[in-house]
Amino acid sequence: MGTFLFDKIIFGPVQSRRLGVSLGINLLPVNKKICTFDCIYCECGFNGEQAGIITKMPTREEVKTELKQVLTKMQDDKQEPNVITFAGNGEPTMHKDFESIIDDTIELRNSFFPEARIAVLSNATLIHKESVVNALKRIDDNILKLDSGLEETIKTLDQPNPGFTLPNLTNNLIQFKGQLTIQTMFVTGEYNGVKIDNTSSEDVSAWLKIITEVKPKSVMIYTIERDTPVKGLTKVALEKLKEIASEVEQLGIPTQVSG
């Protein structure tokens, strides 16, 4: 199976390795990946692979209408989600109405499944924007990416848009005052002749230093499970992930491992 795109605004529910029964919301186009990162492990492929395709973001009204329809059916079927998750074909916080859509989702969640959590999976590149920060502070699971403590590794692994710096990212993560979860993809292999291994002692030590500064309420670490756009990447052994997790837990931070 190759990389794929989510072809709906609302998708699932699916069984998530990290979140349980998850109903997904895709705020990006259904026929094109758009992201501020271009991660070499992304299951949606690379940015630009659908060049020339006419596309558009779903409107706030479309998201609210479709979410209400799906939640109504789930309620009728007595199928309760554990979490409503913003993910999909790129970076969800890029949507111009992200904050308003979060407000709509909270309202619908409270009406249909008040016990369900709301989560956002974000690469954290837009958390310098006040509206994005305000929205993320209102949800249950603010899950932000940090794939290494070394900027060089992040630039190889995540290929961020120009202007990215790790010190800026770190400072922006600190502003949440612990109201966030750090999510990290660990992977080894090779890309364009460059060795990749963010499980190295140098990477992990630098990453742990940032974790200590950010003080997240929890950490999620995982490795590749699906096909990636780059061949030659290797899944990290569960034992290694648990070893890294134990170092985080020594800091007093709960850590979830998905191997």
CB 147 within 8 A of CB 125: no
Read off the pLDDT band of 227 (50, 70, 90): confident
Read off the tokens for 151. Answer: 């900027």
Strand partners, 222: 185, 258
Domains defined along the chain, listed by start: 10-258 (3.20.20.70)
Mind listing the pLDDT tens digit for each residue in 94-137? 999 999 999 999 999 999 999 999 999 999 999 999 999 999 99
CB 6 within 8 A of CB 88: yes
Mind listing the pLDDT tens digit for each residue in 165-199? 999 999 999 999 999 999 999 999 999 888 999 99
pLDDT of residue 62: 98
Mind listing the pLDDT tens digit for each residue in 3-45? 678 889 999 988 877 678 899 999 999 998 999 999 999 999 8
- Give the closest residue to 203 by CA, choosing from 191, 216, 217, 221: 221
Using CA atoms in the order 231, 234, 235, 239, what is the torsion angle rounded to 10 degrees? 180
- Using CA atoms, how far apart are residues 133 and 62, in angstroms rounded to an integer? 23
- Give the closest residue to 171 by CA, choosing from 135, 146, 141, 194: 146
Q: CA–CA distance from 28 to each of 25, 150, 157, 173, 214 (Å)?
A: 9, 29, 22, 24, 29
Residue type, 95: H
